[in-house]
Every structure is written in C-alpha cells, then in structure tokens.
Amino acid sequence: MGFATFENLDVWKRACQQAVEICGVVQKWNNFALRDQIQRSAISVPSNIAEGHERDSTGDFIRFLRIAKASNGEMRTQLYIAQKLNLIETEQGKSLVAESKEIAAMLQGLIHSIQARSKRAEN
C-alpha cells in the first residue's frame, strides 16, 4: 500500500490529537448522551484509519478511510450542536471545527492518492 505503518500518516496523528482534545473538552459535560456520542465519533476517526491500514488491502483501506471521514463529519455536526447548546466556547468550537475540516480534506486527499496509485499499478 505504500505506507509502512499507519503511525506514519499525518492524518492519523492529527486525528488522534483531535480525539484527545475532544475528550478533554467534553469530560465535564452534564449532557451525557452528547458527550458520549462525540467522544465515540472523535475516537472513531483515527481508529478507522488504523483498522483500514492493518487490513493489508487497498480496497479495505479506502473503505475505512471513508468511514473515518464520515465519523469526522458526525463529530463536526456534534460540535455545532454543542456550540448551539453553549456547551463549548465559540472560539474553541470554531477551532475544533476548522481542524475537523482540515482532517476531512486530508482524508479525501489520501483516498484520491491511493486510488490514483492503484490505477497506475493496474496499467
């Protein structure tokens, strides 16, 4: 697949960092349902990157990168909801949303890169 380990991927590193940050931000929330859901979706992003890579299949890796991207979108939606509920400061929420958008773009770029590499290998 071209990547020795998922730990070498910048997108995985950033997704891990964001998951840690989200877990820290929400740990004192009294809205337990939203807290638990946003933690699960945040943790799902780097976890799916890792799981897809470890399957040693280009198709599976792309599929799991798409799942990671979807979880990232879910988490971003929950950040918007948290802001509307005044559970998170506006600036912190904007910063987390911006990072989520960058991670989504990185995931999409990685998907395209893997697809292009796979097509070149077929020819």
Encode pLDDT of 65-113 as tens digits. Answer: 999 999 999 999 999 999 999 999 999 999 999 999 999 999 999 999 9
The model carries a pTM of 0.93
* Domain hosting residue 29, numbered range: 6-122
Q: How far apart are CA 75 and CA 96, in angstroms?
A: 10
Cα–Cα nearest to 22, from 108, 85, 99: 99
Block residue for tokens 């799981």: 51
For residue 90, being part of any structural domain is answered with yes
Q: Is the pLDDT of residue 2 over 80?
A: no
CATH number of residue 49's parent domain: 1.20.1440.60
The count of domains in the chain is: 1
